[in-house]
Each structure stands twice: as structure tokens, then as C-alpha cells.
Chains A and B, each alone.
Chain A
């Protein structure tokens, strides 16, 4: 039933390099010395139980949280320590775990706003917004006020808004939460299409099935540490991962047979 996962993983030069990323909030170590890299054109999934540090890692990459230590590099430029608006302009676009659209504005205005930060004029930004809307086949929604849209459409607008920035890397934070199966399927289709066009994407997801369908490679975080990474199927058999998700008892029962 699951469509065979994405084409084989690209092995190009790393676009994003995260080295020894640590984020502390007071005494709490949210992310602990995590290192990974993402190749150009790769679809990377990040999973882990609640509080594993997924969103904090995301926020650090996007500039919303300042890393306590460690380096984040996009292409040739170091982005760690830059404010979020600079990171966005350098090509890292994101969505939020709970949708954060500009609610009193129309869909067109939401997308145009993002485009306006990378385009020369407002007219050029509006044109860019139309292009993106076309790409996501949501031209008919453009006049609607975002607050009045169903959640699934709001999530599509958030993706469109991020794409309007002409990103080199797209960060999608739990796109599927609150969506039904059909809607989830739609969004997966959108993300796949973007990946097929060569966009590099990192996806945080709670729903394992989604990650399995989407990603070339998966990182597993637990208590702020990177406990496993590799191909989705391989990672799912890792006893440490099963333990993190289901407890050690389950790991003994379902884990990798000897």
C-alpha cells in the first residue's frame, strides 16, 4: 500500500552541516552535541519522542534559538548565531508546528509578504506569490482570508509562504498534526513533488508512517541526543530506537532478532 519510498538518496555535497550543536535552556539540555549533515536534494526525516529536542534543533537551524555551542553551516555561510530574518534571507525557510499565518490577511498577502523580503518590488513579490500558488495549485484560494480556511489549506499556505522565499532548504515541522488521512496524503504528495524538483527538505514528524514514506534518511533524537541515523527501514529495526519509542520491554520483544 505504501508507495515505494523516494528515489535513491542523493549523495551530493552537504548543503547543511550541523556540528556539535548544543542548546541549553538554563539547566535543561534540550539538544546535546548533535552533528549531522544534509545533502543537496535530500529529504531528511527527524523523529523522536516528545521532548527529544526535534523542534529545538529546528529552531536553532532557523535562527529562532541561539545555539549554546556548535556550528551550523549552509553551503559556505555560517548561519549559527544569525537572527532568524537573516537566516531566512540566506535560504532556510520554515513552517511552524502550530500554524502561524498572518490571520487577518488574505492568502495572497501572506505569500506576497514572504516574497517581498527577497524580491525587488512589491509587484515582483506579487508575481512570485502567483508562481508559488500555481506550483501548489492553490490559485483559487488566493483571495480567501487565511483565518477562514480549513487547517489543511492553512498548512499549504504555510508551505507556499516558505517557498516564496526561494529557499535552498525547507524545514517542515509536524505538518501532519491535526490532519486526517486524506489530507495527510495530500501534503505528503506536495512534499514529494518539491523533493522531486530537487529541493532539500528536513521533516520533523510524529507519524512514523509519514517519515517512512518520505525520507531518504532518518535521524532519531532522544533526550536531546542523536541515537541513530540511516535509512528509514534500517533505523526502525534499531533496538535503541524501539526502546526510545516503546520502552525497553518492547525492544526485547520486537527488536532486531539475533
Chain B
């Protein structure tokens, strides 16, 4: 009774302390580490994809509903922001907010259908849906710019329109975004919703027998997890200045958001942070160094690195530190818990 409260307080304090430390460290990087525009760009992208993956972690990590379609929310954020600005001359900040609202609405609608599916069927449905979004965006050319994509107007330095000539500003915007996504994940993890999501991830029937409104809990988790994705998409498009159907909704992005979390540790608060810090720079480095000889060699190396990490530790890098079980993403509830009769036997033996 006493012990538990202390433990929660202790973890809370250590997570809080560590995250502030990391935040200060990352904020100071441009002063002593980031010397070139290439490194700055890699660092900014790392933080943007980290945020999207932190969002993914809520429904797929804590909640165990593995989404391969979080690019839907990223793309909706990116296109809302870009379209409003490029086609209608609207304000980018309004576009950013609109993207968030749209992503949440779409998450609720898609969730109402897909969250009735379990396991791999949910994953497949989300993956198929993001490809549908890519096709639709490509198809309605006059509205979205089609396959060619949308290029943002060059505004120079105009903070009122989310345009900054100093790219360092985007780095700090991305840092704030990632920090907010992390804080959001932390709050969810400590909440009633977080506890119920984790229970649903382990054994949905048992959770329902405990009164958990599983469908509603998953729907709430999906809606929350769409928010960082949409924000990341908006910041991404403002930073890069260009978006097309593939970079918004494509298969590569869809899997990347999930793979970052898997490599770092799905269901662990720090998982997407570690995963993004490792994978995004690796990917950018490989793109710039290895993409030409022979073509696609960068992707092969990237895939190998991911494979080796997940082969060594299927639960992700976070679990290397303390090999403790967190979420079981694959265990079907019916196959759960072979009886540890050994334990009973030992006890019997020692009692006699």
C-alpha cells in the first residue's frame, strides 16, 4: 500500500527529471554540436518523426493495436496546412489547427470501423486506408495538386505565416512539438485511460470482464494518438515547403512511424525517442551516402539494421537495459498464461 505510492512517485520524479535533462541537452545541441545545415536538417526531421511516433505509441504501444496507417494523420496535417496556404492563401497556423481537428475526426470515423478488428486485421486495415488516402490525394488534382504535389509559396521571413528564413527556428519548433508529444504520452500513461489501454493490449476479454469499455477506450486512444501525427505533418510541410501524396500517405512513411517505435521499444515512453534518434539520422545518412551505388543500397542497409536490432531484442532497444516484459504485442488472449504449475510444485515441496 505504502510501497506502491512511493514507487509511482519515484518513477514520476525520475521520468520528470530525466526528461527535463534531455530537453535541455537537445536544446543546447545547436550551440556545440550542430555545425552544418545537413546536421541541423537531420536533427529537425528526427524530432518531427519522433513526435509522430510518440503519438503512434499511445494506441499501438500502450493499447497494443498496431497501426500501419498513422501516416494518415501525418498526411492530413501536412495537406491541411499546405492547402490552406498554397491554394487559399490562408494562415498556416489555422491550417495546423484545422489539421489536428480533421485528424481527430478521421481517427474517430476510421476507428469506429477498424477498431472492431483485432490484431493483424486492424494493422492491415490501417495500412490499406493510408494507401487509399494516397490514391485519393493523387486523383483529385485540381484540389490537391495531384501526384505532382504542393509547393508552398516562398515567403522569406514571415513568422505570422509560419515562415522562417533561419532554419534553426524550425529545429526549436520541432523540439517543442516532440516535447509536447512526450509529455502527452506521459500523461496518458499515468491516467486511467493509459491503464485501461495497457490492459486491453494484454487481454481484451479479461479487461472487459473487469468492466473496461474496450472499444471506447481504444477509440479514445486512437483519437489522442492522431494529434501529434497531424502536428508533425504540419511542421514537416512548413519546414520542407513541399508535400506529395507519397511523402504524406505513402507506405514508407506509414511503416517508418511504426518501425521507429518498434526499434526503440513499443509501449515504452522513451521507445520512440530512442528509435527516432537512431533511425532517422541513419536513414538520412544512408540516403546521402549510399543511395546511388547501387540504387537502393541505402534501403537495404537500413532494413538490415532494423532487422538485427529486432532480432537481438524483439521488444526494442529500451528492453536491452532492463530485460523486463512490457507489452506483449502478439500474444492472443486465448493462448495466454500456460499454468506455472512448477511454482506450485516447488511450494509443495518446500512445505513438506
Cβ-based interface call for B141 (8 A): no
Q: In the complex the two chains form, what is the Cα distance from A89 to B213 in whole Å?
A: 10
Q: Given A88-B209, A105-B198, A105-B202 in contact, is the A150-B340 Cβ separation under 8 Å? A: yes
- Assess the A62–B209 pair: CB atoms within 8 A: yes
Q: State which size class the interface on A falls in.
A: 35 or more
Q: Are B1 and A121 in contact (CB under 8 A)?
A: no
A8 at the interface (CB under 8 A from B): no
**How many Å lie between the Cα of A142 and that of B3 in the bound state?**
8
- Bound state CA distance, A145 and B327, in angstroms? 13
A64 touches B206 (CB 8 A): no
- Kindly state whether residue B336 has any CB partner on chain A within 8 Å: yes
The interface size of chain B toward A, counting residues with CB under 8 Å, comes to 40
The smallest C-beta distance from B76 to any residue of chain A, in angstroms, reads 31
Q: Beyond A104-B202, A165-B210, is A121–B341 a contact (Cβ under 8 Å)?
A: no
Chain B neighbourhood of A22, CB < 8 A:
none
Across-interface contacts of A116 in B (CB, < 8 A): 192, 195-196
Q: Does A234 contact B (CB under 8 A)?
A: no
Contact A139 B208 (CB under 8 A): no
| Nearest chain B residue, comparing its CB with the CB of A114 | B210
Q: Are A178 and B191 in contact (CB under 8 A)?
A: no
Are A151 and B343 in contact, with the CB atoms below 8 A?
yes
Query: C-beta contact mask, A64-98 vs B, less than 8 Å → 1, else 0?
Result: 10000000000000000001110011000110101
Interface pick from B15-23, B50-58, B176-184, B344-352: B344-352
Bitwise interface map of B from 308 to 352 toward A, beta carbon under 8 Å scored 1, else 0? 000000000000000011111000010011011101101110010
Of the candidates A100, A114, A117, A125, which one forms a contact with B337 in the assembled complex, judged by CB atoms under 8 Å apart?
Answer: A100
Which residues of B are found within 8 Å of A105, using beta-carbon distances?
198-199, 202
Q: How far is the CA of A98 from the CA of B338 in the complex (A)?
A: 8
Task: Name which of A34-42, A179-187, A223-231 contacts chain B.
Answer: A179-187
In the complex, whether B147 has a CB less than 8 A from a CB of chain A is: no
A103 to B328, CA, bound (A): 9
Which of chain A's residues has its CB closest to B4's CB? A108
Q: By the criterion CB–CB under 8 Å, are B1 and A139 in contact?
A: yes
Proximity string of chain B (154-194) to chain A, C-beta cutoff 8 Å, 1 when within and 0 when not? 00000000000000000000000000000000000001100
Residue of B nearest to A89 (CB): B211
Closest Cβ of chain B to A233, distance in Å, is: 30
Which residues of A are found within 8 Å of B192, using beta-carbon distances? 116, 121-122, 125
Please report the C-alpha to C-alpha distance between residue A179 and residue B214 in the assembled complex, in whole angstroms. 32
**Interfacial chain B residues near A103, Cβ < 8 Å:** 202, 325, 328, 336-337
CB proximity of B211 to chain A, nearest CB, Å? 3
Looking at B208, B324, B325, the one whose CB has the most chain A CB atoms below 10 A away is B208
User: Contact: A64 with B195, CB < 8 Å?
Assistant: no
Across-interface contacts of B207 in A (CB, < 8 A):
102, 113
Q: Tell me the chain A residues, 118-135 only, with Cβ under 8 Å from chain B.
A: 118, 121-122, 125-126, 130, 133-134
Chain B, residues 216-248, CB within 8 Å of chain A (1/0): the string is 000000000000000000000000000000000
Please tell me if the beta carbons of B209 and A64 are within 8 angstroms of each other in the complex: yes
A144 to chain B, nearest CB (A): 10
Chain B residues 252 to 270 lying within 8 A of chain A, measured CB to CB, are none
Q: Is B212 an interface residue (CB 8 A)?
A: yes
- Highest count of chain A CB atoms <10 Å: which of B209, B339, B343, B347: B209
Given A116-B195, A178-B341, A183-B347, verify A100-B214 contact (CB < 8 Å). Answer: no
- Chain A residues lying within 8 Å of B328, measured Cβ to Cβ, are 103-104
A99–B340 Cα distance when bound, in Å, is: 10
Distance A130 CA – B5 CA, assembled complex (angstroms): 11
Nearest to A108 among chain B residues (CB) is B4
A102 to B, closest residue via Cβ: B202
B297 CB → nearest A CB, Å = 39
On chain B, the residues within 8 Å of A142 by CB distance are: 1, 3-4
Query: Quick check: B205 and A180 within 8 Å, CB to CB?
Result: no
Q: Known: A102-B202, A116-B192, A117-B212. Is A147-B325 also a contact (CB below 8 A)?
A: yes
Assembled-state Cα–Cα distance A183/B339 (Å): 15
Docked Cα-Cα span, A146 to B211, in Å, equals 20
Contact A150 B339 (CB under 8 A): no
B208 touches A85 (CB 8 A): yes
List of A residues within 8 angstroms of B3 by Cβ: 142-143
For A96, the closest partner residue in chain B by CB is B206
A218 at interface (Cβ–Cβ under 8 A)?
A: no
Residue of B nearest to A144 (CB): B3
Q: Are A179 and B344 in contact (CB under 8 A)?
A: yes
A133 adjacent to B196 (CB under 8 Å) = no
Residue of A nearest to B195 (CB): A113
Q: A240 contacts the other chain (Cβ, under 8 Å)?
A: no
Q: Which residue of B lies closest to A182 (CB)?
A: B351
Q: Once the chains are docked, how many angstroms separate the CA of A87 from the CA of B191? A: 24
Q: Which A positions have Cβ atoms within 8 angstroms of B?
A: 62, 64, 83-85, 88-89, 93-94, 96, 98-106, 108-109, 112-114, 116-118, 121-122, 125-126, 130, 133-134, 139, 142-143, 145, 147, 149-152, 154, 161, 164-165, 178-180, 182-183
- 6 A-B pairs whose Cβ atoms sit less than 8 Å apart in the complex: A126-B5, A133-B1, A150-B340, A150-B346, A165-B211, A180-B344
